[in-house]
Amino acid sequence: MNSNLQSEGDINITPARKRWAEKNIDAQTKRLLDEDASCFLHQTLSTPCLNVIESCSGSRITLSTGQSLLDFHGNYIHNLGFGHPEIIEAITEILPKLSFSTRRYTNRYAIDLAKKLTSYTPSLTRVLFAPGGAEAISMAIKVARAATGRHKTISMWDSFHGATLDAISIGGEAVFRKDIGPLMPGTHHVPPPNPSECPFHCGNQCNLNCAGYIEYILEKEGDVSAVIAETIRCAPFIPPKEYWQSVRAACDRHGAVLILDEIPHALGRTGKMFTFQHYGIEPDMVVIGKGLGGGIMPFAALIAKEEFNEKIKNQSLGHFTHEKNPVACVAALKMLEIIERDNLLEHVHEMHRYSMKIMTEMKENHPFIHDTRALGLIMGIELRHPENGAKAADLAEAVMYRSLELGLSFKCSMGNILNLTPPINVSKNELEDAFTIINQALAELS
């Protein structure tokens, strides 16, 4: 098995997956899974699918077998859990009145949302909405090209920015890039700030050589339009503060635009509205999505500095059919209202401290736990073989499948990282239940 294929998440072609399915999938579920596999194009990260979902609510999903699982994956959309009743109510109210906004018209909900989003970011003042994250990333690339008159980009190996052709060109994952032919030209890739596998041998303590390499390319090329990266990689890889400060300064020195992709973690998951706010910098553009639609509507946004509005006057950059979808805007507005009203950023900090305490104790007890880390409620438990430090990908996959049996769903990132992303309104009890399951699975399997 090429372990590069497991960077984004666990895949459906491993022997462990086959063994788990043989043991856990009943005849009725198998019929539906087979039916699904007979009509959808097969893809390594989804079809043939893992299981059949019947309902979702709060932090939980229920499968067609009746099994209820805590969902600490949620595709990063369930910031407030699945099917938040107040968001459903807001959507239900708007639907009979304004179910759609044709492109030549605006609507008050789109305007309110644009104003609300920019109120969190002093120098990012202009917004474009899109139906999904990859489209918003695509708009950002185009804005940077049009504004700078340059086309080259610098992005990161192991990154994910969506599955469209331009997004996989700047993305750095083999599972999307292999066997697909020529990608977009001018896309440089650099190593991500991941001290565990740093090609500059930083020795597990980032020494910013990876940031220095970005400036090296900016200097050598001289005409790079943009540096595009996830502020933190969801695995998670959490760079030190100086990393983004150094890249920000390098972009300024070389006239490149800094675009940060915060699609999975903006709007509260890290304990701040925007992840870059942990770093004391502002990008030129930030792209958000996933949770923006309140866990119900597909929705994303590009938020950019005022100067782009001056530079790009007569160009169409988005023009998506669902650009200012009022239903999605209402869902987003209600979600932001709830985050503010219920002090959820503070709740994230509290749950983060609680989770870190438990994960640190787990690390002391399990030799295979190499590292535990989190920013807010993006958490990772990295498994490596204690004797030689090699990735323990087989163990991570086995722990994931055993946890599913015990009632917890999460994904594995980079093959060997248990990646936990509960709703940001998760309760202490739910966190405790999840860690108890992982502890049990680790104890049984390592």
Ligand X SMILES: Cc1ncc(COP(=O)(O)O)c(C=O)c1O
CA dist., res. 319 & res. 360, Å (int): 48
Asked if 10 touches ligand X (CB under 6 A), the answer is: no
Asked if 193 touches ligand X (CB under 6 A), the answer is: no
154 by Cβ neighbours in 10 Å (0-12 / 13-18 / 19+) ranks as buried
Asked if 9 touches ligand X (CB under 6 A), the answer is: no
Among residues 124, 256, 263, 296, which is the contact residue for ligand X, using CB under 6 A?
A: 263
CA dist., res. 282 & res. 257, Å (int): 11
Amino acid identity of residue 276, one-letter, is F
- For residue 192, the minimal CB distance to ligand X (Å) is 12
CB 259 within 8 A of CB 224: no
74 vs 81, beta carbon nearer ligand X = 74
Q: Is 434 helix (H, G, I), strand (E, B) or coil?
A: helix
Query: In the window 147-166, what residues touch ligand X (CB under 6 A)?
Result: 160-162
Asked if 133 touches ligand X (CB under 6 A), the answer is: yes
Among residues 71, 158, 261, 284, which is the contact residue for ligand X, using CB under 6 A?
A: 261
Residue nearest ligand X by beta-carbon distance:
133
191 by Cβ neighbours in 10 Å (0-12 / 13-18 / 19+) ranks as middle
Among residues 289, 294, 318, 380, which is the contact residue for ligand X, using CB under 6 A?
A: 289
CA dist., res. 71 & res. 228, Å (int): 30
- For residue 218, the minimal CB distance to ligand X (Å) is 22
69 vs 260, beta carbon nearer ligand X = 260
137 vs 344, beta carbon nearer ligand X = 137
Asked if 332 touches ligand X (CB under 6 A), the answer is: no
Token pair, residue 222, equals 């001289």
Between CA 337 and CA 343, with CA 341 as vertex, the angle to 5 degrees is 120
CB 213 within 8 A of CB 199: no
Residues 220-259: x where in contact with ligand X by CB under 6 A, - otherwise, as a string:
----------x-----------------------------
215 vs 261, beta carbon nearer ligand X = 261
Strands 124-130 and 152-156: unpaired
Cis bond upstream, residue 386 (ω within 30): no
160 vs 308, beta carbon nearer ligand X = 160
Among residues 9, 132, 380, 423, which is the contact residue for ligand X, using CB under 6 A?
A: 132
> Which residues have a Cβ under 8 Å from the Cβ of 155 and sit 6 or more positions away?
161, 170, 171, 172, 187, 188, 189, 190, 227, 228, 229
Asked if 71 touches ligand X (CB under 6 A), the answer is: no
Asked if 264 touches ligand X (CB under 6 A), the answer is: yes
Asked if 376 touches ligand X (CB under 6 A), the answer is: no
Asked if 414 touches ligand X (CB under 6 A), the answer is: no
Interface residues toward ligand X, by CB under 6 A = 132-134, 137, 160-162, 230, 261, 263-264, 289, 300
